[in-house]
Homo-oligomer: A and B are copies of this chain.
Amino acid sequence: MVKYQEVAKKIKQMIYQKQLSKGTQLDNIDGLINQYQVSRSTIVKALNCLERQGVIYQVQGSGIFVRERKKRGYLNFLQSHGFTVDLEDVYGSSTVFNVDIIKPSAKVKENLQCDDNEEVYFVKRLRYVEDKLYGLEQSYYRKKLICYLNKEIVENSIFSYIQENYNINIGFSDKYFQVIKLDAETANCLELQIDDPALSVEETFYTSSGEPFDFSTITYHYENAKFCIQNHSK
């Protein structure tokens, strides 16, 4: 891990460990330079990271302050899948229905930019967070990139498996979502009624070199799944 990330991590840990409440002013930049023995630019970069994560806010001419922490029980919508989750981790698990190798449908093929005849892994699983049924996930992974999957792997975090075994890192993703009425099959999986509401999220994940490797649809349980985004305008 590089210096600015180390510094950011330490400042964040300090804030959470001391349980600093919102609005609390941190040491100024010169102070932080002294404390962490790095250059001004490195401190500034670390602070900007924390600002983007919603941990602090900076006011020119005034100081650096602690931001309100996300309320408990809400999932961070920007890192719900494979993006940096850190301290405030929640316990998640899965019930796997199937792990099959199939020919992709036209839609999947397009989203994953598959060649003709290319095959994909199809994984269908129920996702739980802290033992509550959160959603039904249907994912397609390009076999070309993710050579092997099985039920055991898929019960845990697919993303960390991929990262460790294939040295594939997530670079970015496109996320499209809307509210829908449940069809009979999905309602049954989620233990809900037909026409009950749900959030349907379609997301394509790309490696850090820009290659799509995963297309997933998650249908979230409307009573159990709540989300949060801590935005900032900079």
Contact = CB atoms under 8 A, between A and B. Distances in A.
Interface string A191-234: 00000111100000010111000000000101001111111110
A194 to B, nearest CB: 12
A222 B179 contact: yes
A171 interface: yes
Interface stretch (A61-69, A125-133, A145-153): A61-69
Given A172-B54, A176-B74, A59 B210 contact: yes
Contacts of A208: 59, 233
A8 to B, nearest CB: 13
Nearest to A173: B231
Q: What is the count of identical protomers in the complex?
A: 2
Contacts of A189: none
A52 B54 CA distance: 15
A71 interface: yes
User: How big is the A interface, by class?
Assistant: 35 or more
A197 B180 contact: yes
Contact of A68 (B68, B83, B174, B233): B174
Contact of A180 (B70, B77, B222): B222
A178 interface: yes
Nearest to A220: B179
B230 A174 contact: yes
A175 B229 CA distance: 5
A228 B176 contact: yes
B178 A78 contact: no
A73 B233 CA distance: 23
The 10 nearest A-B residue pairs measured at CB: A197-B197, A172-B232, A179-B222, A175-B229, A178-B226, A173-B231, A179-B197, A179-B199, A170-B233, A59-B209
